Structure 1
Amino acid sequence: MDNMYEGRQISKELNKNKKMKSDVKVFQTFKTLLSYILKDKKRMAIALTFSFINSICYIVGSFMIGLIVQLYFSPYLGTQATGNIKDFDTVGFVISLLALALSFILYGVFRYLEQRVYIKLCFEAGARLRGQLMGKLFRSPISFYDKNKTGNLISTLVVDINNVANSLFQMMVQAATSTFNILISIVVMSLASELLTLIVIPVSLIMFALVFLLIKKSQPYFINVQNAFGRLNAFVEEMLVNTKVTNSFDQQAYIYSELEKITRNIRNSAYKGDIIAKSFDTWYGLISNLIILAISAIAAVFYLNKVNVWSSFSFMVNQDGSPTAGLIVLYIMLNWNFMGPFQSILSSTFNAQVGVASTSRIFKLLQVEVPTREYEIIKVDKIQGKIDFNDVYFKYNPNALEYQLKAATFSVQPGQTVAIVGPTGAGKTTIISLLSKYYDYQRGSIKIDGNELKSLDVVSLRDNMTIVLQDSFLFNETILDNLRMTNPNATMEQIQEAAKLTHAHHFIMNMSNGYDTMIENNGANLSQGQKQLISLTRAILSNKNLLILDEATSNIDSSTEQIVQKAMLKLMENKTTFVIAHRLSTIKNADMIIVVDNGLIIEKGTHQSLLEKKGFYYNLYTSQFDK
C-alpha cells in the first residue's frame, strides 16, 4: 500500500515539468543515434546509394518536363511563335513522355528499396539500443530498482525504443533523400538561372531559421509527454498488480480520479506540442507556395522584359539571355524540389520529437553509473559455505544518517544451519540481501570461504546459491519448465521424487495436464501454498551448497508444514543454510540462532541456550507458545 496511490505526486511533477527547459537537441540526438546505425556500414552505403539514385531520377523527371515544354510547346506559344503545328514531332514527344514516365517509375522503385533498407537499419539499431539498455539494467544494483518504478522501466524498454526506431526511420529517409534533392536541385537551379537562385536561397534560409525556433519551442512538451507516459505506465502497473487491495479498500473512484489527472496532463502537453508542429506545416506550406508564386511572377517579368537570367542552359534561353517558357517551367519544378525537402526534413523533425524525448529517457538510464568494484573480481567454482560477518554496517540510502544494520558480527561453518529471528523491520532480510550481494555494505567485511564478498563475481556466486523466498515467483511456463529452471538436466524421475518429498506431487497430478500444466500469469491458477511447495521442490533439485530460506513455509498451513519438515531437513543436509522464519517452532534445531532488533544482533546461540538466558528470544518464543 505504501507505493499504491501516488497519483497526486505524479500530477504535481507533471505540472512542474511543463516549465522544464530541454537541453536535448534534435540533431545532436540524431547524431548520437546514427552511431548505432553506422555499425552496419555496408547496408548504410546501399541505402544512401538508393537515396542518391531516386533523387537523380526525380531531378531528371523535372528536367524532362521543362525540356518537353521547351522542345514541343514553346515554338507554338506567344507572339514570337515560329513553329507550325503540322511539323509537330509526335514520335519525339512520345519518346520524351516515355522517358519522363521511366524516370518517375525508377524513382518509385528506388524509393521503395531505399525505405526497405532503412527500416531494417533503424529497427536493428533499436534492437542494439534495447540490448545495451538491458545489459545496463542487468548490471545495475538492486538499489537502482528501489528508486525506479518497474512500469517506467518497461515503458522505456518497449515504448521508448520503438519510438526511437520509428523516429530514426523518418529522419533517415527524409535526411538522406532530402539532402540529395536539395544539393542536386541547387546545382541545377544555379545552372538554369543564377539570378533567380540568388533570390530564392536567402528567403529559404530565413524560413529555415524560423522553423528551427518552432522546433526548440516545442521540444519540452514532447519530452514532458514521454516522461508522463512512463509515469502513467508505472501507475497503471501498480493498479493492476494490486487490484485485490484496491477493491478491498473500495478505492476505485479515487483511482479513476487520479488516472484522469495524469491523462489530462498528458493531453495538455501533447496538445501544445502538436499545435506548434501542425501550425508549422500550415505556415510553411503557405509561405513556400507564396515563394513559388513570387518566383513565377519574377520569372514572368524577366521573360516579358527580356532580362538576362544568367543561365548555363543556352538551349533554354532566348538570344538575349531571357528565359523561355521551358526554362520557367523547369525552374518552378526545381524550386518545388528544392523547397519540398526542407518541409519534409522539418516535418519529420517535428514527428521525431517523440523519438528525441524517448532518447533522452533511454540515455538517462544508460548514463546511470554502475558502482565500481574496489577489488579484483573472483569467479567461484564451488562454495564450501564458511561465512564470516565482521563489524558490518549497511544503510539503504547512502545519504541517510541511520544504518539499517550495525556492527553485525558472526561466523558460520560449512554445513551449519543459521536461523535469523526478530521483529518486523529488525534487519533480518537485510543480512540475507547483503549475503546474496543485492546490496554492497558500507563498512566492515563479509567473507565467503575466506574471500571478500565484494570481490566475488555475482553470477558465479548466485550459481552456488539456492534462494527460496516468501513470495514465490513462477514463470508463465509449464510446471515442469519452472521446476527445471534450477537444474535443466534433471530427469522426470528426479523431479517427481523431489515433488513427493515436498508433497507437491499430489496436487500437481490432480491438475489438468499434470506437470505439463501451464502456470498462468503470476501463478493465478495456484494457491500461495502450492506456489511455495513448487519453489521448495525447485530448491531440492538445485542442490547448491549455500541455501537461503526467507519465510519459505509462511504460506503453508501448520499441518502441511510439519509434513514438509522432512523435506526441509533433506534439503538442508550438508549445506550452509540461512533461515528466516516467524514460526519459531521451525528453527529449534538450528546450529545457531541470531536475534536481530533495530539493526543490531542482540543475541546469538542455540535454541536451548537462548531460552536459558530468558532474554529477547525467550520472550519472543514464549509469546508464540504457552509453556
Structure 2
Amino acid sequence: LSLRFFDGRTHGELMSRLSNDVDLVNQTLSNTVTQLTSSGLSILMVATMMLLINWHLALVTMTLIPLMVTLLRVVAKRTRQGFRRQQEHLATLNGIIEETVTGIRVVKAYVREEAEIERFAGTNRRLRRAGVSAQVFSGAVGPMMNMVNNIGLATVAGVGGWMALNGMATVGTIASFINYARRFTWPLNQLAQLYNQIQSSLAGAERVFEIMDEVPEIQEAPDAVPLPDTKGEVVFDDVCFSYEPGVPALKHVSLHAEPGQTIALVGPTGAGKTTIVNLLTRFYDIDSGRITIDGIDIRRIKIADLRKQLGIVLQDTFLFSTTVMENIRYGRLDATDEEVIAAAKLANADEFIRHLPEGYQTVLSENGSNLSQGQRQLLAISRAVLADPGILVLDEATSSVDTRTERHIQEAMLRLMEGRTSFVIAHRLSTVRQADCILVIDHGEIVERGTHEELMQARGFYYDLFMSQFRGLPLRVEDLVMGGA
C-alpha cells in the first residue's frame, strides 16, 4: 500500500483492523463451522423422517423456514450496523491509547492526564452505547425464534389433531411427528444464533476487506525495467504534485542533477522540499510532468530496484526494537558483522556504540528511546552507508543534533557523498555551502537556484536567510522557521 493510504489513517485504527477485527473473524469461523455442519445434517435427517411419517405435516412444519429467514434478515441488518459501529469505536479507542502511550512524556509535561482520561472515557462511553445497541438486536433473535417455533408446533398440533379426528392419521403418528418437529426446530434455533454471531464477524470482515481490497496507488508497470546500477543523473521535468486535490504542493518544478553532484534544497516550512525527495523515491506518484534517473522514467523502473539505488536518511529516524547491529544491517540484510561495523565507523557512530552496555548487541527500546536523538540519527546514517546506494537522500540529516555531533555527521557525509548524486535538505545553511547547486523553494516553486556564492551575490531570499542565521539580522519575510516540508 502507498504512503497516502497510511497518511489518512491512525496507527490505532489500522492495528484494530489487523488485530481485533481479524481475531473476531477467526473466532467466529472456529466456533461456527462445526456447528453449522452438525445442525445442517440434523435438519436434513429429521426432515427426511418427517416426510416419511407424514408429508402433509412436514410441509406445514417447513413453512417455518421462510418466516425465520425473513425475521433474521430484518434483525441482522440492524445487528451488523451495530457491531460495525462498535468496531469503529473500538478502533478509535485503540488509537487514543496508542497516542497517549507514545506521547506520555508530552502528556505529563503539560499535566494533561485528566484531559486524556476524559477523552478515553468519552470514547469508551460511545463504545458501550454501540455495544449495548448491537446486543439488544442480537439478543432479540433467540426469543423471536422461540416464538416462531412455538407457533409452528401449535400449528402442527392443531393440523395433526384435525387429521386424527378425520381418520387421516393416527394419534401415535401425530405424537411421533410432533417429537420430530421439536428436533427439527432445535437445530433451526442453533442456526439462527449462529447467523447472529456471523453478523458480528461480518462487521469485522468488512473492515478487514476494506484494507485487503485497497488498490495500491503506486503500481509497477507491466514492462518495468530493472536498475541494477545507476550513474546518478536525476531530472525533474515540469513536475506538479498535490497531496490533496486542488491544493498543489509542487508547481512546475524542473531540476537537473548531474552524476556525482550535490543538490541542496532549502526553504521555509511547508515549501515542498521533502515532497521533492518523496517523489524521487516514488513514495507518491506525480500528477504531471516526468522524473527520470539515467534517462529512464522512474514509473518504468522496478520499484524495488529504484529504492535499492536510493540511500535514505529520513527526517524522522525510526529504529526497531532489536540490537544496534541488526538496526544498521537493515540497510543490507546480507551484510556481515564486519561490514556493519565499518559502516558505523564511516558514519562516526562506532565510538558511542562501543560505550553502550552491550556494544553492538545492545537491544534498543521502542524506536530507540534509550538513545539520544543524535545517536539515533547516526545509526540511521550508518544504515544508509551500509546500503551503498548510487543516490543519497538526506532529509534534515543534521537537524536534531548538537553542533559537535553535526560536525561528525558532516565529515561522514562528505566521505559518503563523494562520487554519488546527493539531495540534501537542511535548516542549517552551513551544511549546504559546498553544494554544487542550491535550490531555494517557496510555496512549491523553485524561486532561486545556483551556488552559494551566486545566491549570495544575487541578494535574494537565500541571502536574507543566510545573513539572518549568521549575523542575527531579521528575515525579509515572515518565514522564520526552517525545516522539512
Name the TM-score, length of structure 1 as normaliser: 0.71
1:470-496 CA distance string (max 9 Å, x none): 221111111111111112333333322
Q: In 2, are the aligned partners of 1:170 and 1:352 still within 8 Å (CA)?
A: no
**Among candidates 543, 547, 551, match of residue 392 of structure 2:** 547
Amino acid of the structure 2 residue aligned with 1:392: V
Which deviates further from its counterpart, 155-164 or 426-435?
155-164
- How far is 1:237 from its partner? 2.0
Residues 1:412 and 2:257 are matched in the alignment: yes
**Among candidates 14, 34, 40, match of residue 173 of structure 1:** 34
Residues 1:436 and 2:287 are matched in the alignment: no
Which deviates further from its counterpart, 245-254 or 557-566?
245-254
Pair 1:501–1:373, CA change in 2 (3 A): closer
1:515-559 CA distance string (max 9 Å, x none): 111111121211111111111111211111111111112222101
1:333-358 CA distance string (max 9 Å, x none): 42232111211111011112121111
Partner of 1:228: 89
**Among candidates 234, 250, 259, match of residue 387 of structure 1:** 234
Output the CA distance in 2 between the equivalents of 1:484 and 1:360: 38
Partner of 1:334: 180
Partner of 1:458: 303
Output the CA distance in 2 between the equivalents of 1:538 and 1:203: 68
Amino acid of the structure 1 residue aligned with 2:101: L
**Among candidates 119, 124, 127, match of residue 258 of structure 1:** 119
Residues 1:183 and 2:44 are matched in the alignment: yes
Partner of 2:53: 192
Partner of 1:468: 313
- How far is 1:330 from its partner? 4.4
SS at match of 2:63: helix
Q: In 2, are the aligned partners of 1:208 and 1:342 still within 8 Å (CA)?
A: no
Output the CA distance in 1 between the equivalents of 2:224 and 2:157: 73
Q: In 1, are the aligned partners of 2:79 and 2:200 still within 8 Å (CA)?
A: no
Output the CA distance in 2 between the equivalents of 1:213 and 1:614: 74
Partner of 1:587: 432
- How far is 1:248 from its partner? 2.8
Partner of 1:577: 422
Output the CA distance in 2 between the equivalents of 1:204 and 1:363: 31
Q: In 1, are the aligned partners of 2:291 and 2:297 still within 8 Å (CA)?
A: yes
Q: In 2, are the aligned partners of 1:302 and 1:323 still within 8 Å (CA)?
A: no
- How far is 1:331 from its partner? 3.0
Output the CA distance in 2 between the equivalents of 1:227 and 1:475: 29
Amino acid of the structure 2 residue aligned with 1:221: G
**Among candidates 17, 20, 23, match of residue 162 of structure 1:** 23
Partner of 1:621: 466
Output the CA distance in 2 between the equivalents of 1:582 and 1:405: 19
1:382-440 CA distance string (max 9 Å, x none): 1211011122111111x21x421112111111111111111111111111111111111
Output the CA distance in 2 between the equivalents of 1:370 and 1:477: 30
Output the CA distance in 1 between the equivalents of 2:213 and 2:340: 44
SS at match of 1:174: helix
- How far is 1:262 from its partner? 1.6
- How far is 1:378 from its partner? 2.3
Partner of 2:190: 344
Pair 1:219–1:495, CA change in 2 (3 A): closer
Q: CA RMSD in A?
A: 2.4
- How far is 1:145 from its partner? 1.6
Residues 1:247 and 2:108 are matched in the alignment: yes
**Among candidates 243, 261, 266, match of residue 396 of structure 1:** 243
Residues 1:378 and 2:225 are matched in the alignment: yes
**Among candidates 447, 450, 453, match of residue 605 of structure 1:** 450
Identity %: 33
Output the CA distance in 1 between the equivalents of 2:332 and 2:252: 37
Amino acid of the structure 2 residue aligned with 1:233: N
1:238-274 CA distance string (max 9 Å, x none): 2222222233333322222222222212211211221
Pair 1:288–1:394, CA change in 2 (3 A): same
Output the CA distance in 2 between the equivalents of 1:203 and 1:590: 82
Pair 1:488–1:509, CA change in 2 (3 A): same
Pair 1:406–1:205, CA change in 2 (3 A): closer
Residues 1:282 and 2:143 are matched in the alignment: yes
Amino acid of the structure 1 residue aligned with 2:48: V
- How far is 1:328 from its partner? 5.6
Output the CA distance in 1 between the equivalents of 2:346 and 2:398: 14
Amino acid of the structure 2 residue aligned with 1:601: I
Pair 1:500–1:198, CA change in 2 (3 A): closer
Partner of 2:128: 267
**Among candidates 329, 344, 349, match of residue 484 of structure 1:** 329
Q: In 2, are the aligned partners of 1:487 and 1:542 still within 8 Å (CA)?
A: yes
The structure with the greater share of residues assigned to helix is 1
1:104-159 CA distance string (max 9 Å, x none): xxxxxxxxxxxxxxxxxxxxxxxxxxxxxxxxxxxx22222222222212211222
SS at match of 1:411: strand
Which deviates further from its counterpart, 536-545 or 247-256?
247-256
SS at match of 2:248: coil
Amino acid of the structure 1 residue aligned with 2:184: F
1:40-80 CA distance string (max 9 Å, x none): xxxxxxxxxxxxxxxxxxxxxxxxxxxxxxxxxxxxxxxxx
Partner of 2:168: 308
Structure 1 regions of 5+ residues with no counterpart? 1-139, 310-321
- How far is 1:329 from its partner? 6.0
Amino acid of the structure 1 residue aligned with 2:40: T
Pair 1:203–1:471, CA change in 2 (3 A): closer
Partner of 2:405: 560
Structure 2 regions of 5+ residues with no counterpart? 473-485
Q: In 1, are the aligned partners of 2:438 and 2:451 still within 8 Å (CA)?
A: yes
SS at match of 2:423: strand
Output the CA distance in 2 between the equivalents of 1:610 and 1:435: 25
Q: In 1, are the aligned partners of 2:79 and 2:134 still within 8 Å (CA)?
A: yes
- How far is 1:609 from its partner? 1.7
SS at match of 1:409: strand
Q: In 1, are the aligned partners of 2:64 and 2:149 still within 8 Å (CA)?
A: no
Partner of 1:215: 76
Amino acid of the structure 1 residue aligned with 2:110: F
Q: In 1, are the aligned partners of 2:265 and 2:423 still within 8 Å (CA)?
A: yes
Output the CA distance in 2 between the equivalents of 1:550 and 1:149: 23
Partner of 1:359: 205
1:481-514 CA distance string (max 9 Å, x none): 1111112333333322332333322222222221
- How far is 1:199 from its partner? 3.2
Q: In 1, are the aligned partners of 2:145 and 2:192 still within 8 Å (CA)?
A: no
- How far is 1:291 from its partner? 4.4
- How far is 1:297 from its partner? 7.5
